[in-house]
Amino acid sequence: MDIGLQERTVIVTGASGGVGRHIATAFAAEGANVVLTYRSGRDEAQKVADEIGDRALVVRYDQADPGAAEALVAAAVEATGRVDVLVNNAVAWGDMVPFDTVPDEEWTALVRGNVEGAIRLTRAVTPLMRAAGWGRLVHLSSSLVTDGVAGGEYYTAAKAALHGFSRSVAFSLGRDGDLLSNVALLGLTRTATNTHVVEQVGKIYEERSPLGRLIDAAEVASAVVWLGSGANTAVNGQVIGVTGGA
């Protein structure tokens, strides 16, 4: 089934591991050119690119760097001539400690990096999508925004901010063509990089889930690809839970 991604260009931030690598390979499997970004895991990102083949481009991207968004988009355009889909997956985590003990410079950097990084990159790709009359924005978030967790105050604050941003962006872009903006809200997901977390709390989430199990990164990737594809024409400005029902 053709879902309208052949020859389109997709930027997936944070694609060197975890959910990101599965999202990147899933878009490539649909015929898209994929720009994979990493901050420090160059070798891991290159492994993903090698798996994809000629359709992949690896670019270093640090969302905390104000100039990184424009440079990333310029690299994508130079290589493929376009940007059709943006998946804001890159994230910075804080230490799980009492929130009132975190120094100002640390929590402000965490919030600003996660929020401003996604906003800057969205701003950078928007003119290309407006000009083409087609585009998909998918911002990855976490069920911790609604569930809450001690020690996650600044991470969840940043992710919650993206919910409001995406909703308003949907209204801003909706009359300019087939342009959609959504949030994919992830729960605890089984990946190759979070086995320690799954071992600690996975059983709790499995018991809460209607499926009786955790979903894995490939299942999340399928949902994200659909949201970012031409098959999706009506889901817009929404926060879509990709949690298995937990």
Indicate which residue of 141, 155, 205, 229 is catalytic: 155
Residue 143 appears among annotated catalytic residues: yes
CB 63 within 8 A of CB 162: no
CA dihedral 45→46→49→50, nearest 10 degrees, is -140
Amino acid letter for position 58? V
- Supply the pLDDT for residue 194: 67
Q: Domains of the chain, with CATH numbers?
A: 9-242 (3.40.50.720)
| Active site annotation includes 155 | yes
Task: Quote the CA–CA distance of 9 and 32 in Å, as a whole number.
Answer: 6
Is 159 annotated as catalytic? yes
Per-position pLDDT tens, the chain of length 246: 799 999 999 999 999 989 999 999 999 999 999 999 999 989 999 999 999 999 999 999 999 999 999 999 999 999 999 999 999 999 888 888 999 999 999 999 999 999 999 999 999 999 999 999 999 999 999 999 999 999 999 999 999 999 999 999 999 999 999 999 999 999 888 877 767 776 777 787 888 889 889 889 999 999 999 999 999 999 999 999 999 988
Which residue in the list 16, 38, 159, 181 is annotated as catalytic?
159
Radius of gyration of the chain measured on its C-alpha atoms: 17
- Which tokens hold the place of 183? 């949030």
Angle between helices 42-52 and 18-29 (to 10 degrees): 20
Output the pTM of the full model: 0.95
Q: Which of 16, 141, 143, 166 is catalytic?
A: 143
